[in-house]
Amino acid sequence: MPPDPIRLTALAKRAGCAAKHPPGFLLPLLGLLPPVTDPRVLVGSSTADDAAVYKLSDDTALVLTTDFFTPIVDGPRDFGRVAAANALSDVYAMGGTPLAALSVVGFPDALPATVLGDILAGAAEVAAEAGAPIVGGHTIKSEEPIFGLAVVGTVHPDKVLSNAGAKPGDALVLSKPLGLGVITTAAKNGNDDRGAIADAVRVMTTLNRGAAEVLAGYEVHALTDVTGFGLLGHLRNVTAASRVTAEVWADRVPVLPAAREYVAAGIAPGGTRANRSFLADWVEYAPDVTENDQLLLCDAQTSGGLLAAIPADRAAELVRQLRAAGLADAAEVGRVTGQGTGRITVRRGPA
């Protein structure tokens, strides 16, 4: 009989972006770093943005980012595809175009080299789709499989899209559904009774390039991608950096159907619960927003969608264009409500 297939998620204590340290751990550490005074650094770590931006000339800046994690899915090729799409997303979230990438690999001695070959092949496939070849990398031995990319992109210095420009009255538009952390956790634990992991892989391997190309035709005041800190965690970074307040409409937020079922059964990754705990000081929930709703809004996504703050009178048109581009779940999910210190209110729908 052939050997049982290798389940990569069984080799990882935590999966995908849910393996990230929570913002409550990271943000105080970033505060200890010396301030960056080089005027060529257009975006650094001070606003917890998705990538750094470094100006080379009057018409060219580099977008610099890295992202890597333990297996989010069992199949090696799919693991590589998801990890590549996730890392490339940070460049799109800054308004940039990916240029090239380096692989970041930790690999156990106990696994056959062919597994790593499949991971690399999957990543190369998605990187080629983005037009950003993987041109090298570095590999170490590790107890758990780890894979990701360090990506370099380019952007015009005057067209950088940071998380710090949201304005009162802006609409908040999300390009992909939530629930990826819940579904991948269910699959890892053998509880994916609906076989939802296939749909989750489809979402996670969809590049944010299409959404970025649509957004290029709009006045975008702030942009971020939704990954390990969840929708509310990444929105908190936007509101804090922009010195505004916002509200999210829970009934308007797209969620993969199986995720609602699984979270009701008590399934949620540790990273999701850590996000919800951290956000307790930043988010006020209306009484009819259930704990399950809160977990989904805080769910640790891997290769999630883009979240854009744009003038409200263009939101409906933007949603139509995103859906026409194949992002069927795109939706307006809230508003920037005023100047402030970053607090967020969650209600079922618009007031």
> Which residues form the catalytic set?
17
Exposed / middle / buried, residue 51 (Cβ in 10 Å: 0-12, 13-18, 19+): buried
Q: Give the Cβ contact number of residue 9 at 10 Å.
A: 23
**Enclosing H/E stretch for 346:** strand 344-347
Does residue 51 contact residue 227 with C-beta atoms inside 8 Å? Answer: no
- Among 47, 207, 63, smallest CA distance to 127 is for 207
Half-sphere exposure of 177 (CA within 13 A, CB side): 22
Per DSSP, the residues of 126-175 read: HHHHHT--EEEEEEEE-SS-EEEEEEEEEE-GGG---SS---TT-EEEE-
Pair of tokens at residue 225: 């991608």
User: What DSSP character marks residue 6?
Assistant: P
